[in-house]
Chains A and B, each alone.
Chain A
């Protein structure tokens, strides 16, 4: 589902951030991406999210070479992925409902379908009844779960999370990890960037470890 073939990423300011990365994450697989800060985790996620393009090598998503995709086709690639961000990236002036509904509105779903799916997604992350609240009225954990609901509401085949438990207490963290496990069970490919070692050891999944831009395990 996600395949890197000899990927290099070079920034003019900092030089090579990723060096010769190759791995293949199969459909329905769940993996952790880890490494010290500055090892290139975020850059790797940015490549997957099509926010950047590789300097060399290929990033394939569902068999499609992201380097060959035209600019105007990128939105449709992004719709295949649910992204979860460390800083949630929620719209502060929109309600929880509107935030979660955004991917569906963008994809052009009708009103009833949107309502049905948003309810289902909020239910999945146990936020039923908070539809009308604004993000700032919620706790960090709740905001993170709004972000997760938004990522999964469109039923994407891939979910990518960047430090999803960064601001959460251990109890909440394991709950959220559990949620990811559930998504994997229904065939979603899940990639989670984190440096929470205890969490990784708890779940016993494949671990992609980056060190100074190189993949040292996985």
Chain B
């Protein structure tokens, strides 16, 4: 054996000039294209090896992924909730209508006369009169309290004038002045500006949005920490490997890579799983919501995540995975002692 080996080794040096690309330099390992191919192959190999490791310990992986999927589902849930409530408000957004509830003693003829006088005002676009009967009919149809109303002896609803001002939406002061004017008009009991309601609703929605954003930030942080902790354990389990790789000249980037891919996979799988959980929850909720919506004016349909939102959700989860892994590995590599 020794003799054979000796011959082989002695033959080695003359081989080198024929292979000038293999040199002991910082960029050793062939020309640029070879290097790029090797880099790509290595990354692909590490990508699937990381997935393999996760599949190799299914119980631990599934526990982590389940917790993450729940967190991501909650975050998506808040998002979908806000999105749906927003849709509800969207239907009302353009309304700057003013409702004048007339006093009970006003007759229909008086109401029409009042409507006519309001129409003279240059800032008013149109006035519609809703009689007591019309109002009752509408209430029965949309409120869902039809039979309760039937039980009443007398129609309790007043005559309503629906006043639509001209381009008033952006001029609040003029609108308020108009409202005050109506308030003092003879025969008007109560003035209701739809805009006020829209504003209130929008304020509530803005608050809900902010609340959801805060909660989602916290959930994002939770995802980051859970992934970070998982990677920390993984790093601990593979400590020997890290040390050996370091000793034979691995850069931090090389050592970091498999852990970043592990973080990516955990985030990605959790994101996809969360999508399915959200889909199932939405399927469960859909029928009751549609039923409720049907009891009103059917202008509301439950919105789910569209393609872009789904992609963003999964990308965000994967991104958090990589980020969590990065933070932990970067911190730990600095403190890894070689022994």
Is the beta-carbon distance between B249 and A107 smaller than 8 angstroms? yes
Q: Which residues of A contact B8 (CB under 8 A)?
A: 120, 123-124
Q: How far is the CB of B190 from chain A (nearest CB, A)?
A: 75
Q: Which residues of B contact A154 (CB under 8 A)?
A: 24
Is the beta-carbon distance between A89 and B244 smaller than 8 angstroms? yes
Is the beta-carbon distance between B248 and A83 smaller than 8 angstroms? yes
Q: Which residues of B contact A187 (CB under 8 A)?
A: 13
- Residue B34, interface by CB 8 Å: yes
- Residue A161, interface by CB 8 Å: no
Known: A91-B244, A182-B9. A75 touches B251 (CB 8 A): yes
- Residue B301, interface by CB 8 Å: no
- Residue A150, interface by CB 8 Å: yes
Is the beta-carbon distance between A108 and B248 smaller than 8 angstroms? no
Is the beta-carbon distance between A79 and B28 smaller than 8 angstroms? yes
Is the beta-carbon distance between B249 and A110 smaller than 8 angstroms? no
B15-57 residues at the A interface, CB under 8 angstroms = 22, 24, 26-30, 34-35, 37-39, 41-42
Q: How far is the CB of A127 from chain B (nearest CB, A)?
A: 11
Cα–Cα, bound, A110→B30 (Å): 8
Q: Which residues of A contact B338 (CB under 8 A)?
A: 49, 51
B239-275 residues at the A interface, CB under 8 angstroms = 240-241, 243-252, 254
- Residue B154, interface by CB 8 Å: no
Is the beta-carbon distance between B41 and A178 smaller than 8 angstroms? no
Is the beta-carbon distance between B245 and A102 smaller than 8 angstroms? yes
Interface size on A, residues (CB 8 A): 42
- Residue A111, interface by CB 8 Å: yes
- Residue B1, interface by CB 8 Å: yes
Cα–Cα, bound, A111→B35 (Å): 10
**Total A-B residue contacts, Cβ distance less than 8 Å:** 105
Q: Which residues of A contact B244 (CB under 8 A)?
A: 89-91, 102
Is the beta-carbon distance between B241 and A91 smaller than 8 angstroms? yes
Residue of B nearest to A186 (CB): B9
Is the beta-carbon distance between B6 and A182 smaller than 8 angstroms? yes
Q: How far is the CB of B47 from chain A (nearest CB, A)?
A: 14
Partner of A76, one of B30, B35, B247, B249: B249
Partner of A106, one of B37, B41, B250: B250
Cα–Cα, bound, A76→B240 (Å): 20
Known: A107-B29, A108-B42, A113-B29. A186 touches B249 (CB 8 A): no
Cα–Cα, bound, A123→B247 (Å): 24
Q: Which residues of A contact B248 (CB under 8 A)?
A: 78-79, 83, 102-103, 106, 150
Q: How far is the CB of B240 from chain A (nearest CB, A)?
A: 7
B interface: dominant SS: helix
- Residue A217, interface by CB 8 Å: no
Q: How far is the CB of B33 from chain A (nearest CB, A)?
A: 10
- Residue A183, interface by CB 8 Å: yes
Is the beta-carbon distance between A80 and B24 smaller than 8 angstroms? yes
Q: Which residues of B contact A185 (CB under 8 A)?
A: 6, 9-10
Cα–Cα, bound, A150→B249 (Å): 12
**Residue interface bits A81-121, CB-to-B below 8 A is 1, else 0:** 00100000111100000000011111111110100000010
Q: Which residues of A contact B185 (CB under 8 A)?
A: none
Q: How far is the CB of B29 from chain A (nearest CB, A)?
A: 4
Is the beta-carbon distance between A182 and B5 smaller than 8 angstroms? yes
Q: How far is the CB of B233 from chain A (nearest CB, A)?
A: 16
Is the beta-carbon distance between A79 and B24 smaller than 8 angstroms? yes
Is the beta-carbon distance between A108 and B28 smaller than 8 angstroms? yes
- Residue B177, interface by CB 8 Å: no
Q: Which residues of A contact B28 (CB under 8 A)?
A: 79, 107-109
Cα–Cα, bound, A109→B339 (Å): 27
Cα–Cα, bound, A56→B26 (Å): 28
Cα–Cα, bound, A183→B10 (Å): 9
Q: Which residues of B contact A126 (CB under 8 A)?
A: 1, 5
B252-305 residues at the A interface, CB under 8 angstroms = 252, 254
Cα–Cα, bound, A76→B246 (Å): 11
Chosen A-B contacts, 14 in total, with CB atoms closer than 8 Å, are: A49-B247, A49-B338, A51-B339, A72-B251, A78-B247, A105-B42, A107-B29, A107-B249, A108-B27, A108-B35, A109-B30, A110-B30, A126-B5, A182-B9
Q: Which residues of A contact B (CB under 8 A)?
A: 49, 51, 72, 75-80, 83, 89-92, 102-111, 113, 120, 123-124, 126, 150, 154-157, 175, 178-179, 182-183, 185-187
Closest 5 CB pairs of A and B: A79-B249, A78-B249, A109-B29, A51-B338, A110-B38
New A-B pairs, 14, CB < 8 Å, besides A89-B244, A111-B38, A120-B8? A51-B338, A72-B251, A78-B247, A83-B247, A102-B245, A103-B249, A106-B250, A110-B34, A113-B22, A113-B34, A182-B5, A185-B10, A186-B12, A187-B13
